[in-house]
Structures are given as C-alpha cells and as structure tokens.
Structure 1
C-alpha cells in the first residue's frame, strides 16, 4: 500500500491545496518517497463551495479522474468532507492507487489485493519498528544515538511516557529472547 499513491482529503485541506467553502482552480501536486524522491506529479482542482456536495478532479499522466465529495455535519458543529469511493460508493477520507492500478479507490475496494509492508514483518522486525517509532515520538530534535531511552518531553503526560517506556521494555525483551534463541541455535550446531 505504501508504495502506491495516496490522496488524503484532510491533509489536502491542511496543506491548503483545497478549501472547504470554495472552488479552486488547477494546482500542482507531487508524491514523493523518502528514498526514491519524486514518484509522481499531477494537477488537481476541486469545488467545495456547496453546503453538502462537491467534486475533486485529478489529472495524473493518462489518468483523469473526477471524484464526488460530500460533507456530513460534525457532532460539535461544522462539517466534515469525504471522498465517495468510485467503486464501493462509500465515504472515505483517504483514497489509494496501488502500483499498477488505473484509479484511486478506498482501501476496502482493494481488499486483499494490497497490504502494508508491516503485515509481512516477523516479531523481530515489528519490535525494531516499534522501538524506532517510540524513540522518534520522544526524541523530537535530540540526537537519537545519544539515548537508549529518551527523557520525557516537557509537553508529555507522565502516564503516556510510562506507557511508552513499558512498551519499549517489552520490545527490548522480545529482541533479547530472539538473540538468545539465535545464540542457542548457533551453539547447538
């Protein structure tokens, strides 16, 4: 899934590519990958000036896709906009176009045809990824090599920090058990 292209409606609004209550003309959009750099470029336009309905258009190479947008009232006021999946006809905040696909659709449309990389990780890789995720959350702009487990950030609650610490220790134990079993296998040979 991660190697495909992703359209996140809320992120497009946050980054001011589109604006609820307004119609925008053509704007360039680029998808990048941390290792490969620029993956794809296209042009988007949208009309969200209506109260409950609008549209979103994406032109990307030979793809020219128009997607219906709808808004629903929020519980505490305001409205939340959604894509309408062109296949499943269901509301989605994110649409995906996996590698080789010809259009953007909801994750449910792709079903078992696609998967996230993490779904194929074994326990060891999940533990390494979990430790890295916790460290990145706690370290902010500190040097990651300087800390085995970083100090509590000023803004974080102690209960949250202690939960991260317990989870980090759990990942450490998993990795230690994996190393011990590997050493035992090597000694047995």
Structure 2
C-alpha cells in the first residue's frame, strides 16, 4: 500500500491551505480487488507545516507535512518520513509493516515492478506502454495494432521519436530471440 501525496491532492482527498475532515480511503488491486480501507484526515492550513492522520485497522499514524517554495512561485508539500526524517512525496506500507515510511526505509520490499524486469521484459513492457499510449491518443484499440498510425494532430517529430523508440525495443527483442535460438541450437533441441 502507498500514500502518494500529489495523487491525494489531485483526487481531492486533501487540500493545501485547508483543514479537511475525515475521509474514507480504499486501496485496490487489479486482481484481488479491495485490499484495505481506512480513513484519513489532514490539516494543511499552515503556510509551511501540517499533518496527515491515517487510521487503518489497528494502525493510527500521524505524519508531519512540510511545504517548500517552488522556483517559479507556489509551494510543494512533502511527507516527512517517520523513520528517516527525509522529505518524500510517497510513503509505503508493505505487508506486515506497522506503519507507512519512505521507500528508502523499506528497501527492496517496496520496489517498483519495473525494477525486477530483465532487459527483454523491460522492452516488452515499454513497447506495450508506447503502443497503448498512441492508441489511447488516437482512439484506437491496442490489440489491433502492432504500432498504430500517427494521430492527426500529433507532430511528425514526436511521432518519429516514438517510432524510433519502438524500433529500439523491437531490436532488443530480436536480439533476445536470436540469443535464445542460439542456446537452443547449441543444446541440440
């Protein structure tokens, strides 16, 4: 489970410059469905400091929030990691943990899925992501296209860069297939 401060603001669970009441929050997984539910409350009415409280089962954790000025005006809010006392935008709670802390606190327990992919699987993943993005922009079905045509309003230079990246991913996959074929032929299979 994770708490992403910027996402909480975008989804209007919390609001900079305001004190919100108690709001329900749910974590879901694409396969298992609802993972956990709890409530959060936050006070971000101060100029530079605030807090967020999360109640989740037996967990009742209060996390300090601080804001820092941005270069071109405004302020950026951050969590203060309870364990490492560092500013972060995302806090994690792996299974069995007693509270939310930064990714650096948990190490590999909360690594992103892409960190575990090898070169070929990363190429598959990125190729699929690029295909989905172009199909979404163009209103097409990703299953119908290996590489979709250029959307009408997209700049040729942008489309050419996508096309080049797609070709690089294909080259990585082709070299992976060639290496696998060479291994199989060496073993006589």
Matched ranges for 1:129-140 at <5 A? 129-140=125-136
CA deviation map 1:55-112 (0-9, x unaligned)? 1000011110000111112222221111111111111111111222111111122234
Per the alignment, residue 52 of structure 2 pairs with: 56
| TM-score normalized by the length of structure 1 | 0.90
Say which of 9, 26, 36 aligns to 1:30. Answer: 26
Say which of 27, 43, 68 aligns to 1:47. Answer: 43
Work out whether 1:103 is the aligned partner of 2:107. no
The alpha carbon displacement at 1:37 in A equals 1.1
Per the alignment, residue 93 of structure 1 pairs with: 89
Per the alignment, residue 112 of structure 2 pairs with: 116
Aligned to 1:76, the other structure's residue is in SS state: coil
Measure the CA separation in 2 of the matches of 1:18 and 1:41: 17
Aligned residues: 185
Per the alignment, residue 143 of structure 1 pairs with: 141
Q: Structure 1 segments of 4 or more deviating over 6 A?
A: none
| TM-score normalized by the length of structure 2 | 0.90
Per the alignment, residue 158 of structure 2 pairs with: 160
Where structure 1 has 5 or more consecutive residues not aligned to the other structure, the ranges are none
Indicate the RMSD between aligned Cα atoms, in angstroms: 1.6
Moved more, 152-161 or 56-65: 152-161
Does the 8 Å CA contact 2:26/2:37 hold for their aligned counterparts?
yes
Work out whether 1:21 is the aligned partner of 2:17. yes
Specify whether residues 93 and 160 from structure 1 end up closer, same or farther in structure 2 by C-alpha distance, changes over 3 A only.
same
Larger RCO, structure (CA 8 Å, separation 6 or more): 1
Measure the CA separation in 2 of the matches of 1:46 and 1:96: 18
